[in-house]
Amino acid sequence: MTFIQHLATALTALRLNLVRSILTTLGVIIGVASLIIMVSIGAGAQSAIDKQIASLGTNMLQIQSGPANMGGGRRDAVGAAQSLTERDIRALREQVPAIVAIAGQLSANAPLVYGNANWTTQVQGVGAEFLEIRDWPLVAGRGLEPSDMTVGAKVAIVGQTVVREVFDGVDPIGAELRIRNVPFVVIGVLAAKGQAGFGRDQDDVVLVPLAAARARLQGGRARSAPDAVQQIYVELASSKELFNAATDIEDVLRARRQLDPTDQAPFSVRNTAELVRTRTEAQATMAFLLGATSVISLIVGGIGIMNIMLVSVTERTREIGLRMAVGARKSDILMQFLIETVTLCLIGGALGIVAGVGGAYIIAALADWPILLRAETVAIGILASVVVGVLFGILPSRRAASLNPIEALRHE
């Protein structure tokens, strides 16, 4: 018999027991569907994490003012718990060779006014190299220049959310934007960056020169050095230097403060890429566990199919005897039942793919969870169905092929 004849025979046998065939495939349907959903969610989460890493800036270290743990308190206001200074920035630039760019930052929430529009956003005073470090391009206008930093120019660069909420279709370049009642001229518009960790909108921001933020926005609230900054962003020549550079930076800052090795430093050096990588590893572990659950579902479904096929062999013993009597070889019988099992699994796999794709989109819509469906994911579902069919179809097929023709014909 040819493969087409075997396939036609298998489809006929499955159609004659349609309800049982559908119920038999439920295990494979559930297994393949869950496999596709988990792979899609895992790939989507990984893609989102990769975008977060890219949005933070490449080869970047962040030096945070204040100890790593301040009792859970937040330091959102300008002037809060500041222990870093622009003198530290100059020292790091001189003493850490791996640094290619460095910029300080002050940040605070402040009200914006333009015409009749009012909006409260995060205003960040930054150094001239901030955009380079964060790998944040402009879509219009110009960036902050060293001369702006020197004189504390009242100029501002706005994010896409500010453009949408405040300017509402008006070209912001050259507009006078009042920040905490201080007029600033908009000189640039940032490209969209999207959300960062914990859902924070990175585009809801206004950047101004560091000196202007300190003189015009900080006011009399400073409780530390006149050149203090909240954070320092550092760009390195290569990601391979992140660990060594972090150690060098901490050594320089501790030496400037004459701290003993046992003293708690009033700052923390953070490798943001490493933090996100840890999150990625946790996500990978979870994806592995969920994938293992899907594999178990496939195994359970395969065992169910094997049992049903064994019952089918018993029910069709006389049919097998008749086939052997008219010249069918053992290999023909084995191939017939193996193809029948694989066909059953493929039908279950196809239904599982449909259910998995639909389920993934439903989860994405209801839970606002990122998914990423690829052709490889569908191929994995099909391959899993074939593997289950072959592995769990061998035993029923061999049993059918090993029947004695005479005893099979006598079977009632």
Q: For the segment 324-348, what is each residue's pLDDT rounded down to a tens digit?
A: 888 778 888 888 888 888 888 888 8
The answer to whether residues 216 and 72 belong to one domain is: yes
Same domain assignment for residues 154 and 122: yes
**Are both 89 and 218 inside the same structural domain?**
yes
Given 235, 265, 295, which residue is the final one in a domain?
A: 265
Out of 200, 233, 265, pick the residue that ends a domain: 265
Residue 289 shares a structural domain with residue 380 = yes
Q: Please tell me the total count of domains within the chain.
A: 2
Q: Give a yes or no: residue 62 inside a domain.
A: no
Lowest-pLDDT range of 256-260, 313-317, 383-387: 313-317
- Average pLDDT, stretch 38-48? 76
**What is the Cβ-side half-sphere exposure of residue 124, based on CA atoms within 13 angstroms?**
22
Please tell me the predicted confidence (pLDDT) of residue 167. 93
pLDDT value at position 69? Answer: 53
Contact 210, 149 (CB under 8 A): yes
Give the residue, 191 or 386, on which the prediction is more confident: 191
pLDDT at residue 68 is higher than 60: no
Residues 48 and 92 reside in one and the same domain: no
Q: Do 101 and 171 belong together in one domain?
A: yes
Tell me the percentage of the chain whose pLDDT exceeds 90. 28
Instruction: Say which residue, 172 or 65, is predicted with more confidence.
Output: 172
The pLDDT tens digits for 348-374 are 888 989 998 898 888 888 877 777 888
Q: What is the DSSP letter of 166?
A: I
CA torsion 127→269→75→72, rounded to 10°? 170
Q: How many CB atoms lie within 10 A of CB 272?
A: 18
The pLDDT-based confidence of 53 (bands split at 50, 70, 90) is low
In this structure, the strands spanning 267-270 and 176-179 are unpaired
What is the gyration radius of the CA atoms in the chain, in angstroms? Answer: 33
Q: What digits encode the pLDDT tens for the residues 223-242?
A: 456 788 989 999 988 777 88
Predicted confidence (pLDDT) at residue 37 exceeds the cutoff of 70: yes
Judgement on whether residues 48 and 82 belong to the same structural domain of the protein: no
Helical pair 317-325 and 330-367, crossing angle rounded to 10 deg: 130
Q: How far is CA 258 from the centre of its chain?
A: 41
Domain that residue 287 falls in: 3-52+277-410
Residue 121 predicted with pLDDT over 80:
yes
Pairwise pLDDT comparison (381 vs 249), residue with the higher score: 249
Is residue 63 helix, strand or coil?
strand
Torsion of CA 264, 267, 269, 275, to 10 degrees: 90
Please give the structure tokens belonging to residue 345: 């699994």
Interstrand relation of 155-158 and 182-190 (parallel, antiparallel or unpaired): parallel
Average pLDDT, the chain: 82
How do beta strands 228-229 and 231-236 pair?
unpaired
Q: Alpha-carbon distance 289 to 274, whole Å?
A: 23
Residues 6+ apart with CB under 8 A from 401: 330, 331, 333, 334, 337
- Asked if 110 and 32 sit in the same domain, the reply is no
- Alpha-carbon gap, residue 133 to 126, rounded angstroms: 11
- pLDDT band for 405, please (50, 70, 90 cuts): confident
pLDDT in tens, 153-208: 999 999 999 999 999 889 999 999 999 999 999 999 999 987 765 567 889 999 99
Where does a domain end: 210, 242, 265?
Answer: 265
Q: One-letter amino acid identity for 96?
A: V
